Each structure stands twice: as structure tokens, then as C-alpha cells.
């Protein structure tokens, strides 16, 4: 059993919540405790939810973090795609 003393404002809040949600004080306290407990548990990071580092990114050149290198790599890919389109105009553009 849990006994607490509430001020007038908190009592009003409690009464309004119980009325609106149509639940007992025990149910409300249990729900609040559960919600608070879930909030305290550490959530997995996005990387952990995705299953770790994407291996394909780890297998690329080490200097992918260099903006100029990435820009050149993108330019090369676009140029290769353009050259293939020019060589065979029947290829679908993607």
C-alpha cells in the first residue's frame, strides 16, 4: 500500500485524469510507473537497430570522408552513366 499527500492542485489534476481516463488510482500509478521505467531504459541507437555498421561502407576507400573525394567519385559515376547512355541510347535511364 502506498500513501501520499497531495496539495490541492495535484489533487485536482488527479481527479481530472481519473475522470477523463476512467481508471482507478491504482491503475494510474501503475501506468505512470511503467511509463517512467520504460523512459529510463536505454534505447538502442539507430546503428544498433539497423544491425551494426553497413559493411559496404567499411569496404570503400578510406578517404570517403573527404568532401572533394566524394564529389569526384559522384562526378565519375555520373559521367560513366552518361557515357553508357550515349553508347547505347536504348538503355533505360535510371
Q: What is the mean pLDDT of each run of 10 residues along the chain (94 residues)?
A: 88 94 93 90 82 70 77 89 84 62
Predicted confidence at residue 79, as pLDDT, reads 93
Cα–Cα dist 46/58, whole Å: 17
Which three cell numbers mark 50?
539497423
Cα–Cα dist 31/10, whole Å: 17
Predicted confidence at residue 32, as pLDDT, reads 93
Predicted confidence at residue 93, as pLDDT, reads 62
Cα–Cα dist 51/11, whole Å: 46
Predicted confidence at residue 38, as pLDDT, reads 87
Amino acid at each position: 500500500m502506498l500513501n501520499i499527500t497531495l496539495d490541492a492542485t495535484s489533487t485536482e489534476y488527479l481527479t481530472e485524469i481519473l475522470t477523463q481516463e476512467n481508471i482507478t488510482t491504482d491503475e494510474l500509478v501503475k501506468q505512470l510507473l511503467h511509463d517512467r521505467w520504460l523512459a529510463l531504459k536505454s534505447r538502442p541507437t539507430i546503428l544498433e537497430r539497423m544491425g551494426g555498421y553497413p559493411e559496404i561502407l567499411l569496404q570503400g576507400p578510406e578517404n570517403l570522408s573527404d568532401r572533394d573525394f566524394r564529389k569526384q567519385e559522384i562526378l565519375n559515376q555520373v559521367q560513366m552513366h552518361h557515357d553508357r547512355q550515349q553508347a547505347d541510347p536504348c538503355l533505360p535511364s535510371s
